[in-house]
A = this chain, B = another copy of it.
Amino acid sequence: MAAKEPLVITAKDEMRKWSRKMRSQGKSIGLVPTMGYLHQGHLSLIQEAHKHSHLIVVSIYVNPGQFSPSEDLSTYPSDLHGDMLKLKSVPGGVDVVFCPKNLYDYNNDSDEKQKNKNGNENLGAGGGDGNGVVSCVEEKGSVHETWVRVERLEKGLCGKSRPVFFRGVATIVTKLFHIVEPDVAVFGKKDYQQWRIIQRMVRDLDFAIEIVGSEITRDSDGLALSSRNAHLSPEERQKALSISRSLSKAKAAAKEGQVKCRELKDSAILTITQAGGRIDYAEIVDQENLKSVEEIKGPVVFCIAAWFGKVRLIDNMEIDI
């Protein structure tokens, strides 16, 4: 199969211009937002996107807005050359790779060029939301100060230990939606809470964009694919399998009638802890509103976050009984 060479775009205006031109020709556009260091999981999102739109845009941007200064922004893995090779060979191809440099840099804006004669500091968003929530964007003194918050869904699960995370995700996705103007966007269910938050945001803010959730891709041993897996030592990787193993066990138990979440969670926590993992959370929640469930009566999802060494992994499994 002949490889398809994607168009590489770095400028916002050029990206939007391409999209509008394509739309005027009757083409629909699917967006797959990524932070790069692509693996088979990302490629499966692209294949999913092909089912929903004529053309595919993959964005590659490690978003400082979703990292707190104490998190792993500086060590987040990156390999643009390798990513491009993978995108060239993905079945059906990719039309555009959008890899902007800094989406929070507005220095080319005329009103920022203006010298502030009144002697006021024009830089810095000034302390986040008043709850001490600050991301790497504020830390770097960016003038960016607008944030999209999905206030209820952002609070639980990963939101507890990562208070700036979903604020940053919702905001960067909003920006990408406005730049790329897609008809469809595909998100992996691996980041289950993120997927639900984006769905909710799209509804609440009346975006004219269809959000598609794509199933988790796993290695043959069961480990959910993640760019962060690259940081696992072989031993840690082996131990990390306890997450998917415990999720599968819980699902099987539920199917056989164990609907008490306390028991299901305790068993999973034991399995992972015994394997050497450190639990961040293990929650069985409603698939829609992500609220904790005591007894399974409808569709739930079992979400787990755990540390293996210095690597924090997340995984989940939907349980439909």
Q: A257 in the interface, Cβ–Cβ < 8 Å? A: no
A17 → B minimal CB distance (Å): 10
Give Cα A169 to B56, complex, Å.
34
CB pair B298 A117 closer than 8 Å: yes
Q: A288 in the interface, Cβ–Cβ < 8 Å? A: yes
Q: A235 in the interface, Cβ–Cβ < 8 Å? A: no
- Of B24, B149, B288, the residue contacting A149 (CB under 8 A) is B149
Also in contact, A288 and B122, with CB within 8 A (given A131-B131, A203-B109):
yes
- Of B119, B128, B152, B206, the residue contacting A126 (CB under 8 A) is B152
Q: A153 in the interface, Cβ–Cβ < 8 Å? A: yes
| Dominant secondary structure of chain A at its interface with chain B | loop
Contact with B along A110-136 (1 / 0, CB 8 A): 010010111110100110111100000
Give Cα A268 to B149, complex, Å.
39
Chain B residues near A114: list those with CB within 8 A.
288
Q: A12 in the interface, Cβ–Cβ < 8 Å? A: yes
Chain B residue nearest in CB terms to A180:
B206
A residues adjacent to B (C-beta < 8 A): 12, 16, 24, 103, 106, 109, 111, 114, 116-120, 122, 125-126, 128-131, 144-153, 170-171, 174-175, 178-179, 181, 199-201, 203-208, 286, 288-289, 291, 293, 296-300
A262 → B minimal CB distance (Å): 15
CB pair A129 B151 closer than 8 Å: yes
- Of B203, B204, B208, the residue contacting A16 (CB under 8 A) is B208
CB pair A205 B151 closer than 8 Å: no
**Which residue among A116, A118, A181 has the maximum number of chain B CB atoms within 10 Å of its CB?**
A118
**Which residue among A109, A170, A174 has the maximum number of chain B CB atoms within 10 Å of its CB?**
A174
- Of B149, B171, B179, B296, the residue contacting A129 (CB under 8 A) is B149
CB pair A203 B106 closer than 8 Å: yes
List 5 tightest A-B contacts by C-beta distance, closest first.
Answer: A117-B298, A146-B204, A178-B206, A120-B291, A126-B152
CB pair A293 B118 closer than 8 Å: yes
A287 → B minimal CB distance (Å): 9
Chain B residues near A288: list those with CB within 8 A.
111, 114, 116, 122
A132 → B minimal CB distance (Å): 11
Chain B residue nearest in CB terms to A290:
B120
Give Cα A271 to B24, complex, Å.
58
Chain B residues near A128: list those with CB within 8 A.
151
CB pair B146 A149 closer than 8 Å: yes
Chain B residues near A118: list those with CB within 8 A.
286, 291, 293, 296-300
- Of B146, B181, B208, the residue contacting A200 (CB under 8 A) is B146
A204 → B minimal CB distance (Å): 3
Chain B residues near A178: list those with CB within 8 A.
205-208
